[in-house]
Amino acid sequence: MNKIPLYGLLIAVGSAIYVFESFIPFPIPIPGARWGFSNMVIVYALPFTSLPWLLALVLGKAIVGGLISGRFLGPTFLMGLLGSVSSVLLMYTSLKTFKKSGLILHSVIGALSNNVVQVLIGAQIVSSWVIIGYLPYMEILATLSGSANAVIAGILLRRVSKGART
């Protein structure tokens, strides 16, 4: 499959998950905090994609998902976008560094860094460092959702035929 249709498809799937995951209640009372299951498409694309295309995927997912969910250009939109960009950079570095490890490591690293960046930006928005007290709870949930993403993306990578990826 060509690159444009493949990543267009992934952006569409990611945006759909992004909208639907807001129906799942998130137990921590921080504005803009969410499970992050839509990052499944990024974990799926990670092993066979170059860094510029990964960043394009993140940007497209943030813009389309933000437009659909009505968060476009709001404060939580900026938090989410910067969080995803940093998580993609770290996931890509981790993929190139830890060659023996599986997808779970990369995915969890991405989820953890996403939350750290979001909380740091959130602290800037409300101009106080008090929010950091929520960070350990968020990171526990990020570890869970990151592992779930990695397992689903890994199974998809095995099942989907090679022709759909190259």
User: Can you give the binding site for another protein, defined by CB under 8 A?
Assistant: 29-32, 47-48, 75, 98, 100-105, 108, 112, 122, 125-128, 130-131, 133, 136-137, 139-140, 143, 147, 150-151, 154-155, 157-158, 162, 165-166
Q: What is the sign of the dihedral through the CA atoms of 94, 45, 78 and 122?
A: negative
Q: Which is nearer to another protein, 20 or 96 (CB)?
A: 96
Q: Which is nearer to another protein, 67 or 96 (CB)?
A: 96
∠ CA 49-166-105, nearest 5°, is 35
Minimum CB distance to another protein, residue 143 (Å): 6
Minimum CB distance to another protein, residue 35 (Å): 16
Minimum CB distance to another protein, residue 38 (Å): 19
Minimum CB distance to another protein, residue 67 (Å): 19
**Pair 28, 134: CB distance under 8 Å:** yes
CA distance 147 to 105: 8
Q: Which is nearer to another protein, 17 or 131 (CB)?
A: 131
- For residue 158, the tally of other CB atoms under 10 A from its CB is 6
Residue 23 burial by CB count (10 A; 0-12/13-18/19+): exposed, middle or buried? Answer: exposed
